[in-house]
Structure 1
Amino acid sequence: MNTTNPNKDFIRRRDIASKQDPSIHEVPKKITSNSKFLLERIQELEDANKELNSRYDLSKKKLTEIVETNTKFIRIIAHDLRSPFSAIIGILEILKEGIHNYDMEEIESFINTAFESANKTLNLLDNLLIWTVLQNKKKSFNPVKINLFELVREEFEIASSQSKPKFINCINDIATGVFVSADLQMSKTILRNLINNAIKFTNVYGEIKVSSNEIDLFVEIIVQDNGIGISAEAQKELFKSRDFQFTEGTNHEQGTGLGLLLCKEFVNTHGGEIHIISKVNEGSKFIFTLPHYI
């Protein structure tokens, strides 16, 4: 009885097949190579999937923060617009119904209150308008050559309706030959908000000074006051978009901190930086940089 060993038979047939087709020896190698390639591709896909999930979580978090910030922002704007209008309407109603019941000093006081409320509303609307522009910075960003001395002079003139009632001395210490390369509207907004902020926190007969230092590719601009200053704890929250700051000025001026957020956004758009140096009862310095026009 003949018994055939199956292993020997397989080896014999393989040897015959390999003589007919030598490439058969390459099959195991190709299988191993393809398996390794597939494993690498699977790992890459898994890594990509993790990255996408991470980006999704981050985007979801950012979107949630934006929605929360905008909701709070709209609520604040609605409140801040209602308050000054209510004051103006109330004063006009008093004068309409009995202007002859008040002497000139009382009438002047009413008018001053209405004027301050109107100014506050105008500043708020200006910032609101600029904020909407900020949502599309790429289309609205248009750097031009700006004479910094003239820009500060113009902004001091605009702010005089707020500084004069407090007898604040505004000093333009910018050299006449200093130029920056910046978006004009954004630059005005930065200075206007910082100057208004300085007026707000400066006492009667105080002083505000705007100066500059030319530092290579940038110009450092300092808006300084000798007002009430800002605590170290409050400084940490100044430029955070989720924490609007309600702080009363030396003459009971109100504000939300929206202006400082715009300053930070616009300075960053120019590739600059902004920070504050301040001590309680010793005044504040807001320091920011804009590209130097050389």
Structure 2
Amino acid sequence: MFEDVSGKRSLQELMRPTLQQQFVPLHGNLNAGYTHSVYWLKMNLQRADDATPRRWLIEMTPAMLDDIRLYQTVTHGEPYIHLAGDHIAFNRQEIRHHYPLLQIYLDDTQVHTLYFRLQTTSALFFRANLFNETSFTEESNFLSGLMGIYYGIMLAIIVYNGLLMMSDRDVSIRHYFLLSISTLIAGMSVNGHVAMYLARDWPWLVDILPAVTPQLIVLSSSMFMCSFLKLKSRTPKANLVFRLLQACSVVMVTCMLAGYQPQVATIAQLLGLIQLSLYVPVSLLVARRGYAPGYIVLLASAVWLSGTVLIPLRNLGVLDSNWLTDFGFQIGSALEVIFLALAQAYKVRLLQKEHDQTQKQLLKLSQRTGYELDAKVRLRTAELQQLIQQLEKSDKEKNDFLSIAVHDLKSPLTSMIGMSELLLNLYHRIPKEEQQSYLSRINANGKRMMHIVTNLLDMNAMESGDLKLQKHTVNLGKLLNEISLQYEEMLKAKDLTAIIHCEEEVLVCADTNAMTRVLDNLISNAIKFSPAGKFIWLTVSQIDKKGRFEVRDQGPGLSIKDQQSLFTKFSKLSAVPTAGEHSSGLGLSIVKKLIEAQGGAVYCNSHTGEGASFMIELPLVPSVLAQSTVARAG
């Protein structure tokens, strides 16, 4: 390692013997904290023999280093130069990966010398891992599975808080919602997924987010502590301290956005540490004064603090960069948001208990007063009862949502975790074909989770009135043919045969995305409830000035009782999937709401033991309808 304090040294200068002697051994990973210096790292690589792979990949962390240059020297000629860093747009990276990733070729078995040049305005810590193609794929798949679980938890919590905000005006819920979003964005930024998915051509945004998001997390968590624990009335002095620190966080964010991030970075990290260190004693103090949810906040703060405090300690150069400092934030934040969700639920119970006690007091007061006071008490009681019903309804909807999400996501998550752990621990013993099988099953479980989450979000959007449809001309037959291709493997797995019949161009006025979800739910239902070796008929036709899609199966059919609750949310039918497939009870409810929102209708025709037939009808495109009328007149 060589520290270039001036930041102006070139590779040619470093090759001089006098400067070569100034390189010092580096034990472990580089951690220089906040510095204006440029750091050079020198590394020698040599292939063991001719059978050793020639192509190697170097993955570097973290993702927020501004300028990374890798020089690969050659015996004759200019060295090869590889560039990376968050000042380069993601679309212009040498290899598009969420972490900086470079490839090198070792054409012979001679010693190859590599020089890394590192420069950044953020905290400078650096770790590089050398992989061949096989080991890199295995490691990348494993980490992608873990990140998928983390993002899934965070998104579920954000959706849960969004539902709570629609039914409860408590300001602490809004602060918690902001905290959850800030934590998710910070995690994506640290892992390089902001550049990969959200800001592929905006390196300035990728560069500023790692500095700004920690301040937003500290700010939103501090605001949540003040509002949720009601510090203004319970501990005014602690509330004043938090408000002053919040003002400092706002100033730090403003300075960073104005371009002064290098100057205020150390101060911002120290202020964040001070504020985080206050969470545990303050929540303990509030809990000991009789506010029971404070204990849950205490537990959440302790868990989150144990993971989050590693980041400023690493950035300040106190701790070395390692697996725990890199992923402690994700682990701590995931557990923290879960505990805080429990605290919110407990607070709702306390509010309900307080409302019940208030109701009893008001009833006693009404017995001791006259008619006028009695009328006022009854009015107040009615208002409280309405509020309690709203809270109970919101709590029940929240519990239903969480129970369904937990139940439906637990099985695929457990399977994914089990298979990924098996790959991690025994990957060198498992044959390549079996590894591919495990990865395929992980991928299938991921798609299953996405289908579950999509249905839940669709249902929430429809019930909250946020569903926005864009109608245009949709070719039902073409759409059916495209969607049916996705089910070829499922049909083969159950030995089913799909018979598709489409009339010549049936054009309806509908939303393409909505119709894709409708056909997807109807076809997947038919496959779920069809025994092996049977037929499924998929038909698109034009009937009575309307376009019709019909799916008919040879399953167990539906009883009259089943048909009465067929299109209700979370309905459970007497018939069960023939191969033990998953069914959330949302699919047909979503189909009905989407079709009716587009001016159409959905029908079911079934008898027990004779299969089931589902039909949807939508208005034809006006031009097609006019042509059909002219043709009949001719």
Q: Secondary structure at the match of 1:173?
A: strand
Determine which of 151, 156, 165 is the counterpart of 2:479: 151
The answer to whether structure 1 residue 128 and structure 2 residue 447 are counterparts is no
Q: What are the superposed Cα offsets for residues 24-55 of structure 1, whole Å, 9 maximum, x if unpaired?
A: xxxxxxxxxxxxxxxxxxxxxxxxxxxxxxxx
Partner residue in 1 for 2:490: 162
Number of positions where the alignment pairs a residue of Structure 1 with one of Structure 2: 238
Q: Which amino acid aligns with 1:171?
A: I
Deviation at 1:267, TM superposition (A): 1.2
Partner residue in 2 for 1:231: 559
RMSD between superposed Cα atoms in Å: 3.3
Partner residue in 2 for 1:46: none
Matches within 5 A, 1:56-205: 68-69=396-397, 71-98=399-426, 114-135=442-463, 140-205=468-533
Q: Which amino acid aligns with 1:134?
A: M
The answer to whether structure 1 residue 292 and structure 2 residue 591 are counterparts is no
> Relative to structure 1, is the Cα distance of residues 246 and 214 closer, same or farther in structure 2, using a 3 angstrom cutoff?
same
CA distance in 2, matches of 1:95, 1:246: 39
Partner residue in 1 for 2:62: none
Deviates more, 1:263-272 or 1:273-282: 273-282
Q: What are the superposed Cα offsets for residues 143-192 of structure 1, whole Å, 9 maximum, x if unpaired?
A: 11011111101111122342232232222212131111111111111100
> Relative to structure 1, is the Cα distance of residues 258 and 139 closer, same or farther in structure 2, using a 3 angstrom cutoff?
closer
> Relative to structure 1, is the Cα distance of residues 159 and 240 closer, same or farther in structure 2, using a 3 angstrom cutoff?
same
Deviation at 1:225, TM superposition (A): 1.2
Q: What are the superposed Cα offsets for residues 81-131 of structure 1, whole Å, 9 maximum, x if unpaired?
A: 122111121133234434677789977875665454333212212323433
> Relative to structure 1, is the Cα distance of residues 162 and 105 closer, same or farther in structure 2, using a 3 angstrom cutoff?
same
Q: Is the 8 A contact 2:556 2:575 kept in 1?
A: no
Q: Which amino acid aligns with 1:86?
A: T
Partner residue in 1 for 2:53: none
> Relative to structure 1, is the Cα distance of residues 248 and 100 closer, same or farther in structure 2, using a 3 angstrom cutoff?
farther
Matches within 5 A, 1:254-269: 254-269=582-597
Q: What are the superposed Cα offsets for residues 219-268 of structure 1, whole Å, 9 maximum, x if unpaired?
A: 23211112232333222222122645596411110111111111011111
CA distance in 1, matches of 2:540, 2:390: 36
Determine which of 522, 528, 535 is the counterpart of 1:207: 535
Q: Which amino acid aligns with 1:203?
A: P
CA distance in 2, matches of 1:208, 1:194: 11
The answer to whether structure 1 residue 251 and structure 2 residue 579 are counterparts is yes
TM-score (norm 2): 0.34
> Relative to structure 1, is the Cα distance of residues 158 and 98 closer, same or farther in structure 2, using a 3 angstrom cutoff?
same
> Relative to structure 1, is the Cα distance of residues 211 and 276 closer, same or farther in structure 2, using a 3 angstrom cutoff?
same
Q: Is the 8 A contact 1:148 1:176 kept in 2?
A: no
TM-score (norm 1): 0.68
Determine which of 203, 206, 222 is the counterpart of 2:550: 222
Q: Is the 8 A contact 1:207 1:226 kept in 2?
A: yes
> Relative to structure 1, is the Cα distance of residues 65 and 268 closer, same or farther in structure 2, using a 3 angstrom cutoff?
farther
Deviation at 1:282, TM superposition (A): 2.4
Q: Is the 8 A contact 2:571 2:586 kept in 1?
A: no
> Relative to structure 1, is the Cα distance of residues 280 and 65 closer, same or farther in structure 2, using a 3 angstrom cutoff?
farther
Q: Which amino acid aligns with 1:197?
A: N
Q: Secondary structure at the match of 1:91?
A: helix
Q: Is the 8 A contact 2:600 2:617 kept in 1?
A: yes
Deviation at 1:272, TM superposition (A): 2.0
> Relative to structure 1, is the Cα distance of residues 200 and 93 closer, same or farther in structure 2, using a 3 angstrom cutoff?
same
Structure whose alpha-carbon radius of gyration is higher: 1
> Relative to structure 1, is the Cα distance of residues 61 and 285 closer, same or farther in structure 2, using a 3 angstrom cutoff?
farther
Deviates more, 1:118-127 or 1:260-269: 118-127
Q: Is the 8 A contact 2:497 2:534 kept in 1?
A: yes
Which runs of no fewer than 5 residues in structure 1 stay unpaired? 1-56
Q: Secondary structure at the match of 1:288?
A: strand
Q: Secondary structure at the match of 1:197?
A: helix
Q: Matched residues, percent identical? A: 27
> Relative to structure 1, is the Cα distance of residues 232 and 145 closer, same or farther in structure 2, using a 3 angstrom cutoff?
same
Deviates more, 1:191-200 or 1:158-167: 158-167
Q: Is the 8 A contact 1:245 1:255 kept in 2?
A: no
Q: Is the 8 A contact 2:470 2:511 kept in 1?
A: yes
Q: Which amino acid aligns with 1:126?
A: T
Deviates more, 1:191-200 or 1:77-86: 77-86
CA distance in 2, matches of 1:106, 1:281: 40
Partner residue in 1 for 2:568: 240
Deviation at 1:132, TM superposition (A): 4.1
> Relative to structure 1, is the Cα distance of residues 183 and 246 closer, same or farther in structure 2, using a 3 angstrom cutoff?
farther
Q: Secondary structure at the match of 1:209?
A: strand
